[in-house]
């Protein structure tokens, strides 16, 4: 496949040792500069301190080691970096450490059993068909037509809120995704959005306390941690996390899979002829183009990573995108090769915080690709349209215009 490699980049990557530069973003070139920079950092400076004093880690082995050691590398970035003045709600699984994280995860896992996820397949397949039915003609935007509304509608159904409110959910997810943590005004808007989501969910939470109906909100309302019920903020926080992470994971996965296949027509033809190849395409897409470029941890004590000393209470950015392209682990790592062993790819994290929604994202991605190949005998990204990309921590296109021909 004709993937962009680091040697294709004409302009030099940003100086790794500059204390006045921020890391490159996916925007405006779709990640070309970012990938070149990450490759250089893996080779030359695998642990780097940026101008804000935060650390960045790039190699696969170091990223996996950190994710597997929650005692030294805490997920509680809110509490530790605020000096204990703020505490993350118990529903925000991504920000919890053991032992509370394990208790919360076991409770939430009741809504993500393999059987429950598998039972959704017929309905998700039907929903996918309905969404594609709304696409008229020989051109449409994959993101607006399918990749965004599909996971948002599924999440709404799981929570037990009206699926017709998915446009509202989509707007909230877009606002959360556009947050720049270094811009106070952007953070303020994010906080306002979180308050709006909580207010929206409050009525549904109160109704489930009166009469549970078997949905995810009912499960959370009835859950206990050490004999204590979750409060409304805990429940709303998990629902917000599910909205953001669950939506973007599937949305970007579907778009990225189409981008990868579009660049390799021979492979696309093979997948069309043999749909059993779709799961391998999904896995290789997750490796090469993980939905999130990085995740964060904060040190609980003085430690050392790759020979670099790191002080306590230091924020560390773990570059999943870089780890997944580490040639020490993946041969010809910049090439798209479905079928390679991807057991060590880090798109969904590693250790106790491995993404709880990963099976659902894989299911939605498989159904979406299968439906597109069933419905259209020709699918291609419109070459006349300049793609726009997410500008922060998401590795994917905001919109993906397709040209198609019905089978």
- Averaged pLDDT for residues 371-382: 96
- Closest by CA to 76, choosing from 356, 392, 316, 349, is 316
The CATH homologous superfamily for domain 6-406 is Cytochrome P450 (1.10.630.10)
Q: How far apart are CA 290 and CA 252, in angstroms?
A: 8
Find residue 319's DSSP bridge partners: 294
Q: What is the pTM of this model?
A: 0.90
Q: To the nearest whole percent, how much of the chain has pLDDT over 70?
A: 92
Residue 351 C-beta-side C-alpha neighbours within 13 Å: 17
> Tens digits of per-residue pLDDT, 317-371?
999 999 999 999 999 999 999 999 888 999 999 988 888 889 999 999 999 999 9
pLDDT > 80? residue 77: yes
The pLDDT of residue 9 is 32
The pLDDT of residue 90 is 66
Q: Identify the band that residue 181 occupies on the pLDDT scale cut at 50, 70 and 90.
A: low
- What mean pLDDT is reported for the chain? 88
Boundaries of every domain in the chain? 6-406
**397 and 388 Cβ atoms separated by less than 8 Å:** yes
- Distance between alpha carbon 1 and the CA centroid of its chain, in Å? 24
> Tens digits of per-residue pLDDT, 131-174?
999 998 899 999 999 999 999 999 989 889 888 888 888 888 77
Q: How far apart are CA 253 and CA 279, in angstroms?
A: 12
The pLDDT of residue 122 is 97
């Amino acid at each position: 496949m004709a993937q962009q490699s680091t040697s294709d980049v004409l302009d030099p990557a940003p100086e790794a040792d500059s204390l006045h530069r921020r890391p490159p973003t996916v925007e405006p070139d779709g990640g070309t500069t970012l990938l070149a920079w990450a490759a250089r950092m893996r080779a030359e400076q695998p642990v780097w301190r940026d101008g804000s004093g935060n650390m960045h880690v790039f190699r696969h082995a170091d990223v996996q080691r950190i994710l597997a050691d929650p005692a030294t590398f805490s997920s509680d970035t809110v509490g530790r970096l605020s000096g204990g003045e703020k505490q993350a709600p118990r529903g925000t699984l991504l920000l919890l450490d053991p032992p509370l994280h394990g208790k919360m995860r076991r409770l939430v896992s009741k809504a993500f059993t393999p059987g429950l996820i598998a039972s959704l397949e017929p309905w998700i397949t039907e929903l996918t068909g309905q969404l594609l039915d709304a696409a008229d003609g020989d051109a449409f935007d994959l993101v607006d037509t399918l990749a965004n509304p599909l996971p948002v509608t599924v999440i709404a159904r799981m929570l037990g809120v009206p699926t017709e409110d998915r446009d509202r959910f989509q707007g909230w997810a877009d606002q959360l995704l556009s947050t720049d943590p270094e811009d106070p005004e952007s953070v303020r808007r994010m906080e306002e959005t979180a308050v709006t989501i909580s207010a929206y969910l409050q009525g549904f939470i109160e109704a489930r306390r009166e009469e549970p109906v078997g949905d995810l909100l009912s499960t959370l309302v009835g859950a206990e941690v050490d004999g204590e019920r979750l409060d409304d903020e805990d429940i709303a926080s998990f629902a917000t996390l599910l909205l953001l992470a669950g939506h973007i994971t599937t949305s970007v996965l579907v778009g990225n899979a189409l981008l990868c296949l579009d660049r390799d027509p021979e492979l696309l033809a093979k997948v069309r002829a043999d749909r059993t190849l779709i799961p391998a395409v999904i896995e290789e897409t997750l490796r090469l183009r993980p939905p999130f470029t990085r995740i964060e941890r904060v040190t609980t004590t003085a430690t050392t990573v790759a020979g670099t000393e790191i002080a306590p209470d230091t924020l560390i950015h773990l570059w999943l995108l870089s780890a997944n392209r580490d040639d020490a682990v993946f041969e010809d790592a910049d090439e798209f090769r479905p079928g390679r062993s991807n057991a060590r790819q880090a798109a969904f994290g590693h250790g106790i915080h491995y993404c709880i929604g990963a099976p659902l994202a894989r299911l939605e991605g498989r159904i979406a690709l299968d439906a597109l190949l069933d419905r259209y005998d020709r699918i291609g990204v419109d070459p006349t349209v300049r793609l726009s990309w997410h500008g922060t921590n998401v590795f994917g296109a905001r919109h993906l215009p397709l040209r198609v021909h019905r089978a």
